[in-house]
Amino acid sequence: MRGYCLLEVLFVGWIGIVLAAIAVPGIRRSIDQQRTVGAVRYLATQCARARMVAITQGRDVALQFTGGVGGYTFAMYADGNGDGVRTRDIERGVDVALSRREQLSSVFAGVSFGVPAGLPPVDTGPPTDGDPLKLGAGNLLSFSARGTSSSGSLYVRGETGAQYVLRAYGETGKTRVLAYDPRSRTWRLR
């Protein structure tokens, strides 16, 4: 019965270590990419849900995004007095919560709202200037009973740099996901 010499075992072990060292960063980027895509699709689903609730209930519904120490959180609110969803009415309890407040990173580890410095704008939109929410002063993405919405962009970033944007189009109330390609410095439809 023939065995293996120590040199053969060390050589095979060394090859395994080198291959693992080459593969691990690529696997990590791939996992981050998938998590980030999942997070932005989850946001798109929340927007579609808010739109459908607005249509079926016949009143304005909005997603409110709030910045804090741990990052941004969001929740869904319904108009309670017929004047649209407003931050002031949310604070007073007039516009009622339809969902609990949640944070992307609690569902998708390492994913958050974010924009790196120098990121080019989507299409001919405003420059990103570090603000990941382009929704207006109140950081509300509103949907009407007619199916329309406010317009805006939500920039989502992964732990290893995967970058996406969710764009809301006012006239249709629908959303579109775009991915950033750092090699060509362009946005492409996802």
What's the angle, vertex CA 98, arms to CA 86 and CA 64, rounded to 5? 40
- Identify the band that residue 25 occupies on the pLDDT scale cut at 50, 70 and 90: low
Residue 183 CA, chain-centre distance (Å), reads 21
Q: Does domain 6-56+106-189 have CATH number 1.10.287?
A: no
Q: If you search the block for the tokens 């927007």, which residue do you land on? A: 47
pLDDT above 90 coverage of the chain, percent? 63
Could you give the CA distance from residue 82 to residue 59 in angstroms, rounded to a whole number? 7
Span 50-57, mean pLDDT?
97
Q: If you search the block for the tokens 């407003």, which residue do you land on? A: 86
Confidence check: pLDDT of 126 > 60: no
Could you give the CA distance from residue 109 to residue 90 in angstroms, rounded to a whole number? 28
Q: What are phi and psi of 119, to 5 degrees?
A: -65, 125
Q: What pLDDT does residue 10 have?
A: 78
Short-list 155, 169, 171, CA closest to 47: 169
Could you give the CA distance from residue 41 to residue 171 in angstroms, rounded to a whole number? 21
pTM given for the model: 0.84
Give the Å distances, CA to CA, from 169 to 45, 59, 150, 166: 15, 19, 7, 10
